[in-house]
Structure 1
Amino acid sequence: MSNTYQYILVHTDGPIAHIQLNRPKVLNALNRQMVSEILHALESFDQDNDIRVILLSGVGRAFAAGADIDEMAEVHSTDLELLNQFTDWDRIAWIKKPIIGVVHGFALGGAFELALCCDLLWAADDAEFGFPEVNLGIMPGAGGTQRLTKLVGKTKAMEWLFTGARITAKEASQFGIVNKLISKEVLFEEAIKFAHALAKQPPIAIRYIKEAVLKAIDLSLYEGMQYERKNFSLLFSTEDQKEGMKAFIEKREPDFKGR
């Protein structure tokens, strides 16, 4: 995919797609066009059969410092209702391929919401997260109150959202917000290495696992189990299932084709 975007950079590395937030002069502050560009790139890579994993990161000193306040300062509530800007955020949740967020510096406000949209999060050991919206007289609107609460529970989410306090990388790891803490010097190198390992996994199984896990967040245990069993059964119609089990019996590495 050629880079035809104004606020993001995109490139591919074999089966890995990279999307980088690219407004470094304003610490990658998220405006509506940038979010639209992120969604377009995600959906394009999701439909590209050569891509198996998507990496999302930021250029410069931070992942992103938050939403673009200049864009929002004079907006009226009825304007926001008509803009319906959060439909783009809803569609990010529809991406079927695994998204790995790679966070260095700050991920605040809308940037933290974007990070929480990722399936896995790798963070520099000095990264900071947080929802400072309350200090502006507002609150998260792109899923922050919901995703954070589902991850860490009501009481801790209330504390962080009420105070706007910064969440250290260590705290984020302790509360299950991030998967890995890595020295910032090797953060991207290690994330890319992991992405290439993940890209060798069977793509259809990865997709069905992602679907089932996301259902587990919202459904009852019984409903989630039914969804899991449906996906389990469907995988037995794939060539990858036959290859995986044949390779196991023959004591060799499988070669998954995503079929």
Structure 2
Amino acid sequence: MTDTQYRTIHVNRADRVVTVTLNRPDVLNALSSELMSELNHALLPLDRDPGIGCFVITGSERAFAAGADITEMAPKTATQMAAEDHFAGFRYALGGGCELAMMCS
């Protein structure tokens, strides 16, 4: 097992089981680009290890994962557009779709 320290995940190996804990409790473990990068960095090399039987991915504290970290996706200038924008939702708006709808007039 690597000695690499990560900021957004904790990795623990016990025999043939690797447990990865998502560790961004302040944002309900929202999946940031940093977290996803660390997850890939930690798991891809271990996936080739014949001594590993399974991976367990769990969340810390109150949530497994809140979904994508939309603070990384939203451009800071979207609310500064001159033309009015309106939301016409006739289907489900979930996750980042709700955020996009809330940005509209």
TM-score by length of 1: 0.30
**Structure with bigger RCO (C-alpha 8 Å, 6+ apart):** 2
Indicate the residue corresponding to 1:133 in structure 2: 96
For the pair 1:16 / 2:13, whether they are aligned, the reply is no
1:85-105: per-residue Cα shift (whole Å, max 9, x none)? Answer: xxxxxxxxxxxxxxxxxxxxx
The AA in structure 2 aligned to 1:28 is N
Q: How does 1:1-259 map to 2 (within 5 A)?
A: 1=1, 2-74=3-75, 131-137=94-100
1:22-53: per-residue Cα shift (whole Å, max 9, x none)? Answer: 11111111110110111112212102221111
Q: Distance in 2 between matches of 1:75 and 1:41?
A: 31
1:48-69: per-residue Cα shift (whole Å, max 9, x none)? Answer: 2211111111111000112222
The AA in structure 2 aligned to 1:10 is V
Distance 1:3 1:9, change over 3 A: farther
The answer (yes or no) to whether the contact 2:70–2:96 under 8 Å persists in 1 is: no
Percent identity among equivalent residues? 40
The answer (yes or no) to whether the contact 1:10–1:17 under 8 Å persists in 2 is: yes
Q: Distance in 1 between matches of 2:37 and 2:9?
A: 10
Deviation at 1:3, TM superposition (A): 4.5
Q: Distance in 2 between matches of 1:135 and 1:52?
A: 39
Distance 1:14 1:46, change over 3 A: same
Deviation at 1:136, TM superposition (A): 2.1
Q: Distance in 2 between matches of 1:51 and 1:22?
A: 22
Any idea what SS the aligned residue of 1:54 has? Answer: strand
TM-score by length of 2: 0.70
Question: Runs of 5+ in structure 2 lacking a partner?
Answer: 78-93
Q: Distance in 1 between matches of 2:28 and 2:4?
A: 20
Q: Which has the higher helix share?
A: 1
Q: How many corresponding residue pairs?
A: 84
Q: Distance in 2 between matches of 1:134 and 1:8?
A: 27
